[in-house]
Amino acid sequence: MMKDFEEYLFERRYRPSTIDEHLKNISYFFKWIETSGLIEVENIQYTDLLNYVQDEQKKFKDVSTINNRISSISKYFEFLKQQGTISRNPARTLRIRGKEKTIIQSPLTYDELLHLYNSYKAIKKEVPKNIQKKSNLTHQRNIVILGLLIWQGLHSGELEKLEVSHINLSEGIIYIYPAH
């Protein structure tokens, strides 16, 4: 049956690495079915899938990892549906939302942030003459990035999306696009 599923994915033009990932995720699911005492994958219900998700969460799996596994399971159930083995896909609408957010217990005070910024800004390194200009430009860039983190509250995902075209030097504006 797994060979047929692999062929099903191949016909839908999935890349070999993606097919391998789906097969691996399905094998984890089959192992769970076996250890849970469930007999036939065709009899799996939505509530069984919720139990699977809970077991995965207990193993400290990341939300994105669990959703990837659910996606593979859903594709497998779509395959079974196409084969006429099942009439509906119990995983079709199942997705785990969000992550637990870590709350910073003692954030830095304004004075501590100001000290951090000014201390970094004041750093003067001894560098060879031939790379002094590049070093100064790198230091200036880092000061700007630190300023965006501290004073504008940007996070790493927003910084990662930042492009030169988002910066308007003549108006002193930086366009920030949210990270998704």
pTM exceeds 0.95, yes or no = no
Which residue bears the tokens 């191949």? 10
Instruction: Report which of residues 105 and 136 the model is more confident about.
Output: 136
Question: Out of 50-59, 94-103, 129-138, which region has the weakest mean confidence (pLDDT)?
Answer: 94-103
Helical segments of the chain, H only:
2-11, 16-36, 46-58, 63-83, 110-122, 132-151, 156-161
Domains of the chain by residue range: 2-83, 110-174
Contact between residue 68 and residue 25 where contact means Cβ atoms under 8 Å apart = yes
d(CA 87, CA 101): 38
d(CA 128, CA 146): 25
Q: Angle between the 16-36 and 46-58 helix axes, to the nearest 10 degrees?
A: 100
Q: Residue 180 has what pLDDT?
A: 53
d(CA 45, CA 94): 11
Q: Residue 106 has what pLDDT?
A: 84
**CATH level 2 (architecture), domain 2-83:** Orthogonal Bundle (1.10)
Among candidates 2, 20, 1, 19, which has minimal Cα distance to 11?
A: 19
Token pair in block for residue 93: 């609408």
Please give the backbone phi and psi of residue 102, each rounded to the nearest 5 degrees, phi first: -85, 125
For residue 62, what pLDDT band results from cuts at 50, 70 and 90?
Answer: confident
d(CA 98, CA 67): 11
Token pair in block for residue 58: 């207990």
**Cα–Cα distances in angstroms (integers) from residue 107 to residues 64, 97, 118, 166, in the given order:** 28, 27, 18, 29
Please name the amino acid found at residue 21: E
Q: Residue 73 has what pLDDT?
A: 96
d(CA 25, CA 19): 10
Q: What is the pLDDT of residues 106-157, one digit of tens each?
A: 888 999 999 999 999 998 888 888 888 888 899 999 999 999 999 888 888 8
